[in-house]
Amino acid sequence: MTAREGRPRLSKPEATAAVKAALDLRLAAPACLAWAAAWVALGLPAGVAAGLGIALGATCVASFLGARRIRRGRWRALAVLALSTGVAAMAVFGVAVRTGLADASPVAEAADRSATVDVILDVRVAARAIGGQGTEGGSRLLVEGVARLVDSSNPPSTTGRATWALAFLSTDKLPENLTPHVSPAHMLPAGTTLDITARAQVAEPGDRARALLTVQQIHRVLPPSGWRAKTASLKARLAERASLLPPDEAGLIPGLSVGDTSQVPPSLAEAMKRSSLTHLTAVSGTHLGILVGAVLALGALARWPRWVKVAAGAAAIIGLTLVVGPTPSVQRSAVMGAITLLALARGSVRSALGALGCAACLLLVIDPQLARSYGFALSCAATAGIVVLGPRLAKGLIDKGIPRRIAQASAIPIAAQAACAPILVLFVPQISLAGLPANILAAPAVPFVTLPGLIAAALGPVSPQAAGVALAAARPGAAWIARVARSASTLPAATISWPSNPGGALLLAALLLLLALGVVRLARSRVAGRRAAVAVLTVLGVGVVAATPLGSAALSSVHKAAVPSDWVAAVCDVGQGTGVAIRAGPATAILVDAGPDNGAMARCLSALGVRRIDTAILTHLHADHSGGLPEASRGRTPGLLLTPISCGLPAEERRIARLHAKTAALHGTQGRWTGSVAGVDIEVWPSRLDVACAHQPSESAVNDASLAVHAQFGPDGLGLWILGDLEQGGQRSLSARLKSEPTLAHQGGAVVVAHHGSSRQDPGFASVLGPTLAVMSSGQGNSYGHPARSAIVQYRDLGAHILRTDECGTVVLTRSGAARCLRL
């Protein structure tokens, strides 16, 4: 019997499946090699990247010629190698060309010199708020687009090649006619043209942007035109109608339907991040699948011809892509959808993994910058996990007696999260334990928000009444998702810290692989059915508990052991902001600032076991110190609220005044306020600048009007200074007052360094305080450069131990003066 005769013959379906599997594997190799090669090339100079592309191209040619000559053996392997190196060479050459052109552009040359230039910026990604305030009090925005330098000719014109740039600007610099819009994304949508004067700086190597532009003046703002104007109008009208709904629903409906997250409340955004639900508002394959699936289902119901269904599906893909914008996840899902529709038009078997590999290859050749896009990596990983692991996991659960719908609903988020987790820890140093049950509970509601939201957006220009009905239909689903996110995120064990580096990612991947092998082993055992049922029901049970307030309260004792029993103060990790809890009883605290409106302060208080706020003190009314007070006060209403309200911003004054009727406004003419609660002596020192910021205060004036707070824990115990955002003038003023009253100098102890450790520190003031511990409250990766190296060196030279919330999390102090870093 010959070798050919000894091979078992495959039936036609089996042969088709085998070919499909082989195709999938052959497309996976080119995608992976192209991805790795482009990632490396993005960090290289243009000439070196071109050399790498030549080497890959030579390998491609050699492999192809070798595959043609070899008739037996491993010619298929050489063919795959030729295809892989060919795709990688094209991606790397694309990097070399883009890098060379960007380096040669006038804007890039200006960035190398840190020069101030006039620039025309074509906005490609809608503006988004990035927190903080501009030089004159406006909110800070980030705009991404293509920049061209303006020459000095008369009339002026653009010169040289364009380059990708990121522009930072403040809303106070925008024309007045732009301010009434719903959000920054609608003030400056994609397609807007900005004529600006900006200071150019060099971006990080490997970034898409070649230059960072700090906008100093805006000369003209030209709105979008053509199809971009129409899509911007659709999104703005949807957001405007949704803004009449409760805040959570107003943010989620545009987010789940057209990817507009501009109205999602910061606290809900943080809750979705902690419960791994952020992907729901990042329009991707799920949303595109819902839309195209609904179109194809409608076509099947109406018995459309195949070509009509394919055309309708293609129109849906194009329409959603234009409205949402070409984000990495949308690009990936759109190309995959187009490939799948092409297969449907030809009547061939669809291969999701093959479509993913083909889409990745095409996109990496067209835009090699995607190789360093976390969004693109997460989108591909989630799709691969769902395609490879999802069906197998669902089948295993169904075979063991789990109802089909429960099995499928559980399998998809499990597979997607398992594939994405090793990537997520690279930029978020934590693992969400609440993510799995939260996704299982939230996923069924997504179609009931996405489809009505899209219908509302489409019908808005035609029939506002019908659009209102569609929005009403989307409300229950949006409210449910928000409830799940908020409840799951409040669990003290919702997240655990994890190393945010390649080693941590590899470790997590290895653990997930071992877990998968264990699940497979369990599925093959005789008792696997009962165990699998118990496992799924347990996951769902935890999710249900997370979605109820009683369940969250019942689990509030989890991880309490991590908080020292003798803690006296905690500088909470609230991101870019400040929030301090001072213990004033077994479950009572004095609150000094509350961080931004991201829910972090409320979670910190819950983890510390604080159920009541005796007194709340706001050092000043900037949002990164006062924004989190309403949520932190929910259920813990303070008995007294102290604030320099006469020096605040008008909008903040009104918000604070509505929060609590018993509010005391302190300013320089009133001396200092003192109080004592449960053995803790509190002194509040108003600033000298109460008159300077009476009407329209500048940012610096409001900062220097900050209250300074001193807490003393017993006569011989720890002392703690909390300095708000005092700048050098305020620090010198307070220093003089402390020197004039030697008994009140309060030297030693701990200090929460002023203004998040900015460079604006007065050396004499730091010497007067003489702390042994300096805590700098700043957000990880913040755009202000806080804390400044000069501030760190200044306090370190005084002998103080330095702790930073962006590096170690919440800093908890004990009565003995010991400090401990916790991830609460």
Residue 2's pLDDT is what?
40
Q: Taking 90 as the threshold, does the pLDDT of residue 243 lie above it?
A: no
Q: Count other Cβ atoms within 10 Å, centred on residue 469.
A: 13
Closest CA to 631 of 656, 594, 662, 664: 594
Q: What is the pLDDT of residues 592-608, one digit of tens each?
A: 999 988 888 988 998 88
Tokens standing for residue 426? 């690279």
Residue 203's pLDDT is what?
76
Query: What's the pLDDT band for 475 if we cut at 50, 70, 90?
Result: very high
Beta strand 819-822 with 810-814 is antiparallel
Closest CA to 270 of 595, 597, 634: 597
Q: Count other Cβ atoms within 10 Å, centred on residue 447.
A: 18
Compute the C-alpha angle 786/754/217, nearest 5°. Answer: 55
Query: What's the pLDDT band for 305 if we cut at 50, 70, 90?
Result: confident
- Return d(Cα 87, Cα 92) in angstroms, integer: 9
- Tokens 């490879």 map to which residue? 388
Output 703 or 148, whichever has higher pLDDT. 148
Compute the C-alpha angle 507/513/516, nearest 5°. Answer: 145
Residue 701's pLDDT is what?
67
- Mean pLDDT of all residues belonging to the chain: 76
Q: Which helix (H) or strand (E) holds 582?
A: strand 579-583
Q: Taking 80 as the threshold, does the pLDDT of residue 301 lie above it?
A: yes
Task: Name residues whose C-beta falls within 8 Å of residue 684's C-beta, 6 or more positions apart in sequence.
Answer: 617, 642, 666, 672, 673, 674, 707, 708, 709
Q: Count other Cβ atoms within 10 Å, centred on residue 260.
A: 31
Residue 616's pLDDT is what?
87
Residue 557's pLDDT is what?
39
Please give, one letter per residue, the 3-state secondary structure of 261-304.
CCCCCHHHHHHHHHCCCHHHHCCCHHHHHHHHHHHHHHHHHHCC
Query: What's the pLDDT band for 478 if we cut at 50, 70, 90?
Result: very high
Q: Taking 50 as the threshold, does the pLDDT of residue 695 lie above it?
A: no
Residue 157's pLDDT is what?
58
Residue 480's pLDDT is what?
93
Residue 234's pLDDT is what?
85
Grouping H, G, I as helix, E, B as strand and the rest as coil, residue 120 is strand
User: Which whole number is the average pLDDT over 102-110?
Assistant: 83
Q: How far is CA 6 from CA 10, 12, 354, 570, in A?
A: 12, 18, 30, 75
Query: What's the pLDDT band for 722 if we cut at 50, 70, 90?
Result: very high
- Tokens 């006039």 map to which residue? 118
Closest CA to 572 of 269, 812, 275, 266: 812
Output 403 or 708, whichever has higher pLDDT. 708
Q: Taking 90 as the threshold, does the pLDDT of residue 255 lie above it?
A: no
Closest CA to 170 of 179, 162, 161: 179
Output 54 or 79, whichever has higher pLDDT. 54
Output 698 or 135, whichever has higher pLDDT. 698
User: Which whole number is the average pLDDT over 424-429?
Assistant: 70
Residue 580's pLDDT is what?
94
307-311, 385-389, 752-756, 788-792: which range is least confident on average?
Answer: 385-389
Query: What's the pLDDT band for 17 if we cut at 50, 70, 90?
Result: very low
Grouping H, G, I as helix, E, B as strand and the rest as coil, residue 189 is coil
Query: What's the pLDDT band for 560 if we cut at 50, 70, 90?
Result: very low
Task: Name residues whose C-beta falls within 8 Å of residue 354's C-beta, 6 or more positions apart in sequence.
Answer: 20, 23, 24, 27
Q: How far is CA 770 from CA 361, 463, 721, 798, in A?
A: 60, 67, 11, 7
Tokens standing for residue 231? 């899509």
Tokens standing for residue 220? 């003209």
Q: Of all residues in the chain, what percent carry a pLDDT higher than 70?
A: 76
Q: What is the pLDDT of residues 343-392, one digit of tens each?
A: 776 665 456 777 788 888 888 888 888 888 877 888 888 888 877 777 77
Residue 581's pLDDT is what?
94
Q: What is the pLDDT of residues 792-820, one digit of tens each?
A: 888 888 878 888 898 888 999 987 778 88
Tokens standing for residue 290? 């819902």
Closest CA to 578 of 755, 440, 747: 755
Residue 1's pLDDT is what?
38
User: Which whole number is the average pLDDT over 253-268?
Assistant: 83
Q: What is the pLDDT of residues 154-210, one digit of tens each?
A: 555 566 677 888 888 877 777 766 654 556 667 788 888 888 888 888 876 667 788
Tokens standing for residue 729? 């003038």
| pTM value surpassing 0.85 | no
Q: Taking 60 as the threshold, does the pLDDT of residue 37 lie above it?
A: yes
Query: What's the pLDDT band for 735 if we cut at 50, 70, 90?
Result: confident
Q: Taking 50 as the threshold, does the pLDDT of residue 489 lie above it?
A: yes
Residue 19's pLDDT is what?
39
Residue 776's pLDDT is what?
92
Q: Taking 50 as the threshold, does the pLDDT of residue 293 lie above it?
A: yes
